[in-house]
A and B are shown apart, each in its own frame.
Chain A
């Protein structure tokens, strides 16, 4: 009871602080603060179209957030989510090109296969980071970060090289896929809500995995004391690799959904910062699965709403990231100012 009260007070304090700091920054940039917030909110929530855009931004955030919860549960700093998304989208398009465009598989099967290929791609990239940690003693922050840049290089090379549009290489991406190879639209909506269905399923799966299975229990043992877990015969290295693999697969799936369900081609930096934003969302939710969907939804609204800023007020759309950063930082401060009871603490 006191824990919940402390949590609410903390959340309230950090929201108020973040709102104050954000308004100050907006005012310092010479923009009308209240109008700016109004534009962002209506851009993210103001119409049916806005809601659709917000939901389609929620999909990769929720998938990557769930992925991060699995790896954080094993005490791994999985900063390589961006790269895992990118590799997922590369594998997805590779499958669609080789089995869909060539007519080897019927459309639906090719799309389903491409999403599985995307999961494999993300998993492979995450496992690379994981093996470097468990067997090469390279910290996952540095391998993940490095592999993010390598993945970006790989996708750019494909876009400008082997997969370039006929006749010309273009930074606008590869040749668009035919509609038969799209993730089908649900209820005639322009954006595929199948992605949302998959993301919610993945989230439920992760919640079940972490809280209701022996595997989840062993992950938390590894996180709390790797040495003791080793003595208990829980083989922390294998658990870490498993956590990385699951996380990578979910991140890869979001890359696949971005290709098959939204862009219908590979574009440069397709991961669109979703991997990094998801880390912020998980930090904001303090690693708790209960608050993660809310944090992801809020960040999706900010991200989509800020797209209106250049058009309406000629401000840079990066304000979304500013608000997200301020929120997380003020939450860190609020934790110290209003410490919770035993149940609070960091994930």
Chain B
């Protein structure tokens, strides 16, 4: 494998992962504050339509991205108002919203279908783009790749290294305790839901303005929001691991396209659905590790126990509570 080929492969994976990274980071921020945004799939699709329509209307793809982020935040605001202030089930509202936004995107995007429009193109950072391997893969690339990598650093720093980030985590872990400490729980949750929705909206814009340019029925980003939800679980609600999870799933999908020529019997759908069995297995492993049977086994076989704390990464407390409450 030559260096050029490796750079092209790395670039392709980073490119495919960029929107997944953003949507999954958005869901991470939201869930870390204790708000499960099940509307992510509809958000990504609607924002893709809104971003493309805005970019076509203004001729500026960057304004399109902003419109995507704005529409994502607006959808998350609907979810948060219903869930936090109107006392509806977050899961029910999120699920209804995802179906609603998908249909609304197709209905309102009818005029945009298969029309030419601007896209974000590629960017070359002078100097850095001449680095071997990294240069062509990251710095002579679509700007969405650089943006997504910056977003990982920003979200990680915000959640893990700042005081507001600590507040967010405290609110998501134990809302009642946070409220008793005098934190404005609902305000924090509302804000985080909006940030999460905006990031999901940016992801939609990435799709329609860069990764799969244009709009149609289907656009090609259907299911991406669900994959993002799976990635958050896979990454244990930790921003850097979530980003690595997105890269992993993008690599599966890219290799699926590459392997189509080698193994025509294995259709591309196999690789499209791969994240979902992986999600289920991840959840199974994470949860079994907490079971009494596993603890007992780990006591007998110390080697098993050594892996336990290292890989433990659970859901924020408020999320577990919301899921247990059921419908």
Binding site for B on A (CB under 8 A): 25, 28-30, 72, 75-77, 79, 132, 136-139, 141-143, 145-147, 149-150, 152-153, 156-157, 160-161, 223, 276, 279-280, 283, 287, 314-316, 318-322, 324-326, 328-329, 332-333, 335-336, 346-347
**B323 part of interface (Cβ distance < 8 Å):** yes
B280 to A, closest residue via Cβ: A146
CB of A316 within 8 A of CB of B96, answer no
- Known: A143-B280, A146-B277, A161-B265. Is A332-B107 also a contact (CB below 8 A)? no
Determine which of B96, B108, B229, B265 lies in contact with A283 in the assembled complex, contact meaning CB atoms within 8 Å: B96
CB of A157 within 8 A of CB of B326, answer no
Task: Name the distance in Å between B294's Cβ and chain A's nearest Cβ.
Answer: 11
User: How long is the Cα–Cα vector from A321 to B106 in the complex, in angstroms?
Assistant: 10
Determine which of A76, A316, A321 lies in contact with B99 in the assembled complex, contact meaning CB atoms within 8 Å: A321
**B62 part of interface (Cβ distance < 8 Å):** no
| A–B pairs, 23, beta carbons within 8 Å | A76-B326, A132-B283, A136-B288, A137-B287, A138-B280, A141-B38, A142-B280, A143-B280, A146-B230, A152-B269, A157-B270, A161-B267, A279-B95, A287-B327, A321-B103, A324-B100, A325-B96, A326-B100, A329-B78, A329-B93, A335-B88, A336-B87, A346-B89
**B176 part of interface (Cβ distance < 8 Å):** no
**B206 part of interface (Cβ distance < 8 Å):** no
CB of A318 within 8 A of CB of B280, answer no
Most B CB contacts (10 A, CB to CB) among A76, A156, A325 go to: A325
**B226 part of interface (Cβ distance < 8 Å):** yes
- Known: A152-B273, A315-B107. Is A332-B86 also a contact (CB below 8 A)? yes
**B110 part of interface (Cβ distance < 8 Å):** yes
Question: DSSP majority for the B interface?
Answer: helix
Chain A residues contacting B327 (CB-CB under 8 Å) are 72, 75-77, 287, 346-347
User: How long is the Cα–Cα vector from A152 to B226 in the complex, in angstroms?
Assistant: 15
Chain B residues contacting A287 (CB-CB under 8 Å) are 327
CB of B102 within 8 A of CB of A321, answer yes
CB of A157 within 8 A of CB of B96, answer no
**B272 part of interface (Cβ distance < 8 Å):** yes
User: How long is the Cα–Cα vector from A153 to B270 in the complex, in angstroms?
Assistant: 6
Determine which of A153, A161, A347 lies in contact with B272 in the assembled complex, contact meaning CB atoms within 8 Å: A153
- Known: A132-B280, A138-B280. Is A316-B106 also a contact (CB below 8 A)? yes
CB of B100 within 8 A of CB of A25, answer no
**B114 part of interface (Cβ distance < 8 Å):** no
